[in-house]
Amino acid sequence: MDRVKTGITGLDDMLGGGFLPKTANLVEGAPGTGKTTLGMQFIYNGITQFNEPGIIITFEEFPKQYYYDAAAFGWDFQELEKKGLLKVIMTSPEVSKLGVESVGGLLSQHIQQMDARRIVVDSITHFGRLTQDPIELRSLEFNFINALKREELTCLLTRESPVLLGENTEDAGIGFIVDSYIVMRYVEIESAIRKALFVLKMRGSDHAKDIRQFDIVANGLEVQARFEGQEGILSGSPRRMADSFVKAFVKR
């Protein structure tokens, strides 16, 4: 089966080769975990490694900030925009919703002009500004995601989690709508904060079930090995597994 590779070390392996084409994929995490970096890298690698033009829609951060942040990783977003391979579009949820749902809408025009294949929406959390009603919100998000899929795009949607450590207890209705769900978490181990990533769900495909460490390095995000000898990672404060258990089952 064809895969839309992220090009991110370690992540494609976890996803069974990459995202499935024309799917909506959610990346959820606390502030600073690296959701936007993952999204930018997905778009940058798409353009430079897989010849797939991409769009980033931002509802809060100014595009100028993306150019700056991307440059820190050696990704020249402004040059890619000049070549017509990338567009960083600042807008609001209400405008982007209208933009994909109306014939010849602004977003549709950009998608067609560029022959865009990938899109990042940073972040879908802002759709919450449109309504207080959770049922209506789910319907709005569902319609928006479907409109992007109609454009044959592989979508990466970021979602902000208000919880810094531990499990997020907030309702994530969008988790039922999307095709895959990646969670990024902070973990405290031996008085140091590390970052963990796992694939909670991937519709229509097998995926890694383990919780892996990741880091943001000079050239972007890098998924590393799983946490060995620790349990309760999702609580944010894992415990060391009993030595006898590690010897018997983990380090074999």
Partner 1 sequence: MASNGDDFTARLMDDMDPVLLDFVKTKVNSFIKWDLVRFFHENPHTADTVENIAKYAGRNVSAVEPELEDLVENGIMTKTQLNDTTIFTLATDDEMRSLVDKFILACEDRHFRVKAVYHIIRGMR
Judged by the rule CB under 8 A, the positions of this chain that interact with partner 1 are 62-64, 81, 87-92, 94-95, 98-99, 102, 105-106, 110
82 vs 203, beta carbon nearer partner 1? 82
Q: Smallest gap, in angstroms, from Cβ of residue 62 to partner 1?
A: 5
For 187-213, the DSSP string reads: EEETTEEEEEEEEEEETTS----S-EE
The per-residue b/e assignment along 146-174, b for 16 or more CB within 10 angstroms, e otherwise, is ebbeebebbbbbbbbbeeeeeebeeebeb
Q: At what angle do helices 93-101 and 134-150 cross, to 10 degrees?
A: 50
Closer to partner 1 by Cβ: residue 65 or 168: 65
Q: State in angstroms the smallest separation of the CB of 166 from partner 1.
A: 33
Q: Which is nearer to partner 1, 59 or 181 (CB)?
A: 59
Does the N-terminal peptide bond of residue 123 adopt cis geometry, omega within 30 degrees of 0?
yes
Is beta strand 54-58 parallel, antiparallel or unpaired with respect to 86-90? parallel
If the CB atoms of residues 109 and 237 are measured against partner 1, the closer one turns out to be: 109
Give the nearest distance from C-beta 7 to partner 1 in angstroms.
23
In whole angstroms, the minimum distance from the beta carbon of 219 to partner 1 comes to: 25
